Amino acid sequence: MTTLDEERITYPKLDDLIEQHQQQQPEQQPLTPTSIPSTASQGLFVDVDSENGKLKQRKQSQQQQQVSTSVSFNKQQEEEEEEEYNNSNENSLNNNNSKSILQSSIKEKSADLKSRYTAGKRRQEIVSVVSFVVLLSLSIEKMFSWYFARNIWIFFLSTVLAMLTADFFSGIVHWAADTWGSLDTPLVGNSFIRSFREHHVVPTQMTKHDFIETNGDNCMLTIPVLLFTAFAKVNDDSYDMFLQCFLVQLAFWVMLTNQIHKWSHTYSLPSFVSFLQNYGIILSKRDHAVHHRNPFDKYYCITNGWLNPYLASIGFWKRLEEIITHCTGAIPRADDQAWAGDNVDAPCE
């Protein structure tokens, strides 16, 4: 049985229910970015996400491009570095090869020049040194007299003049031996010019020479002068005493020149030699290093080097060479360059 209260219960109509459902649906099913197709008219979420996506894509693309560029740049850089490394290795090998070829060439030349130092040459040097000592002693003994003692200015004046003259002579002889002739030149080739060629090929070789080999040739050069000073008659007057004193000292400094030259290439020296070098009384290492630069065409004076700057400033050696080349057609230092032309900058210790 139904009651009146039960009869009052009303049920919603189907159309009303459908309309109510349609009105409630948006609230019940909120829009989500994933559930809705991506169109420009369908809300902020879609647009921002789409733009973000594009930006992301662009960024990724840029990153990919950057990575790709970076990879290609790195690859290019690597290739360049590899090429550079290979080139440097190649250059280094070439340099090492050139260096070893140069060193072996210098060694061969040095050995060749050394082998030409004969027993006959050694005997000649010994005779020259002994003759020098005997003749110098006789000359000095003649020089000292009461007249000389009372006129000491003769000694100082002749000393300065003898040192300047010896320096100039050393320049002339050095220049002539360096610039002209060869080892085949008669008389002086193998004996005199040989040592100059050897010196440019291996400058320090002379520091290994003993007293005889160092000074033999220079002793020989002084013999004619010392024969005169030892045996010529000397009067007690200013002129004779000055001449005697000048010639004896000239012979002394000429003889000492190659020893001084050797000292300019030597590291460990007695303190008095260093003192003389430092005060410019004898050839300094620094001055002589100027000569040892290829092509060895200046600063030939090697006794004290006082004349080197002056002669260089007037182009003395160059002018002299031009005159000789004009008269004979000979090329300066042709033979020297054949021996020492490889030495870009020969060391001067």
Please report, as ranges, the residues that interact with Zn ion according to CB under 5 A: 178, 296
Min separation Cβ 201 and Zn ion, Å: 11
Instruction: Select 125 or 178, whichever has its Cβ closest to Zn ion.
Output: 178
Residues 6+ apart with CB under 8 A from 238: 151, 154
Instruction: Select 113 or 154, whichever has its Cβ closest to Zn ion.
Output: 113
Tokens encoding 197:
């060629």
Min separation Cβ 202 and Zn ion, Å: 11
CB atoms near residue 89 (< 10 Å): 10
Min separation Cβ 251 and Zn ion, Å: 22
Min separation Cβ 102 and Zn ion, Å: 19
**Cα–Cα distance, 216 to 198 (Å, whole number):** 16
Min separation Cβ 265 and Zn ion, Å: 6
DSSP 203: G
Q: Is 165 in contact with 250 (CB distance < 8 Å)?
A: yes
Instruction: Select 246 or 296, whichever has its Cβ closest to Zn ion.
Output: 296
Min separation Cβ 296 and Zn ion, Å: 5
Q: Is 155 helix (H, G, I), strand (E, B) or coil?
A: helix
**Cα–Cα distance, 102 to 349 (Å, whole number):** 19
Tokens encoding 66:
């950057």
Q: What are phi and psi of 129, to 5 degrees?
A: -65, -45
Instruction: Select 244 or 343, whichever has its Cβ closest to Zn ion.
Output: 343
Tokens encoding 123:
């005997």
Instruction: Select 157 or 269, whichever has its Cβ closest to Zn ion.
Output: 269
Q: Which residue is nearest to Zn ion (CB)?
A: 178
Q: Is 276 in contact with 305 (CB distance < 8 Å)?
A: no
Tokens encoding 269:
């020296």
Instruction: Select 178 or 321, whichever has its Cβ closest to Zn ion.
Output: 178
Min separation Cβ 335 and Zn ion, Å: 13
Tokens encoding 146:
């009461």
**Cα–Cα distance, 99 to 344 (Å, whole number):** 11
Query: Would you list the DSSP string of 30-72?
Result: ---TTTS---TTS-HHHHHHHHHHHHHHHHHHHHHHHHHHHHH
Tokens encoding 261:
């030259």
Min separation Cβ 198 and Zn ion, Å: 11
Instruction: Select 142 or 285, whichever has its Cβ closest to Zn ion.
Output: 285
Instruction: Select 158 or 257, whichever has its Cβ closest to Zn ion.
Output: 257
Instruction: Select 242 or 317, whichever has its Cβ closest to Zn ion.
Output: 317
Min separation Cβ 337 and Zn ion, Å: 12
Span between the terminal Cα atoms of the chain, in Å? 139
Residues 6+ apart with CB under 8 A from 29: none
